[in-house]
Amino acid sequence: MSGKQLSIIIPVYNVEKYIAKCLRSIVEEGAGTTGAVEVIVVDDGSTDKSGRIADAFARKHPCVRVIHQENAGVAAARNAGIRSACGAWLYFVDSDDWLEKGGVRAICEETAKVPDADVLFMEAYQNVGRKQSGWVHFDADTDMADRESITKLQCGVLYAPFWRRTKNDPMAAPWDKVYRRDFLMENHLQFCAHLKVLDDMVFNFEVMGAARNVACRKIRPYHYRRFVAESITNTYKPDRVLQDREVWRYLLSLDVWSGNDVLQKALMCRIVKSFSICCRLCFFHDDNKKKLREKIRYVERVMGSEPYRTAFGTVRLSDLEWKLKIVALAGRIRSGWVMYLLHVAWESAKKLKSLRG
């Protein structure tokens, strides 16, 4: 296995509209990386032209390798990339996003400066249509080698305001981090392929739990393409509650909670937030054709079940964003009607905002 500085792992599934831009943003600066980078595309059973587009790039660019496998989900695809990678550092890129010009070079330069770090934390751009903004995780470059600081980052992975109170930037995704391969191997860290949602959050939670040295750098090599109406993140998920329960069951099975109040508080906040997301994607989604009373009864059953009942009952309102404070209060009184009215009000406000701008 020949050594590389960086392995870029790209899970691919039916993204023929976006994969070429993603790969071009990486390989077009290949000459500047002097062979230090490999690109591993894992075609996870695509039924469109995605795999063929990736194969065409591999024929033209020696740094690109393509793995074709039966569809097993994004977590399994990332794990296949981990097993195949030979880089000292691993970087996970989503196939509908792209890298900033000079981004690969910047990552290689920064990882070379922190050979003892387990994880390199970075920042990213958010792109919504033609609009672009930057996420800011850090005020300045910093290195963390104490458990208290890294635990704070770990809490931020569960619920971002625990890291930076004035922001709610995403902390759970893998594309604003680079991971030292030996660190992942030594700690048997990989994505949980049995989880259908939040597998990246769980992965980074475990990564931060094992990390002893985290470098944070204010470079911004990544462009996250945020979709709006057509996004899979906005489609109806009738099984979302069941999928979330698998996540809570796995997290609560980990031996990390005893005596760690701050992690427990962050988890309670995350559960409340996920319940709020279920209102949008499951309970009250327009494609849910059940009668309203049936929806309300289901919401109230979920409120009264674990771990939601404990989360609503124990979460500190001061730890939550203002919208989630109201969700938590509605959860405490187990009122599905209040939750429904909140959902209607927020969706109406979003539509009004969209019309205005």
pLDDT averages per 10-residue partition of the chain, 357 residues: 85 97 88 77 98 97 96 97 97 97 95 97 92 90 96 95 78 96 98 97 98 97 78 79 98 94 97 96 95 97 97 96 94 96 90 71
3 state DSSP class of 207:
helix
Outline where the chain has alpha helix (H). 19-27, 50-60, 74-84, 103-113, 147-158, 181-186, 199-210, 240-253, 261-278, 292-303, 308-314, 322-332, 336-356
Which pLDDT value is given to residue 30?
58
Cross-strand pairs, 225 = 127
Token pair of 34, please?
Answer: 């002097």
288 with 340: CB under 8 angstroms? Answer: no
**41: which strand partners?**
10, 66
Count the alpha carbons within 13 Å of 169 in the hemisphere toward its beta carbon: 20
Residues 6+ apart with CB under 8 A from 276: 323, 324, 327
Q: Is 127 helix (H, G, I), strand (E, B) or coil?
A: strand
Whether the Cβ atoms of residue 303 and residue 312 lie closer than 8 Å to each other: yes
Res 58: pLDDT: 96
243: nearest Cα among 288, 277, 286, 216: 277
Distance CA 188, CA 194 (A): 16
Rounded to whole angstroms, what are the CA distances from 241 to 173, 279, 281? 21, 10, 10
- Contact between residue 64 and residue 31 where contact means Cβ atoms under 8 Å apart: no
Angle at CA 74, nearest 5°, toward 198 and 172?
Answer: 35
Structure tokens at 72: 């097993």
pTM: 0.94
Per-residue burial over 284-317, b = 16 or more CB atoms within 10 Å of its CB, e = otherwise: bbeebeeeeeebbebbbebbeeebbeebbeebee
Which parts of 187-260 fold into alpha helices (H)?
A: 199-210, 240-253
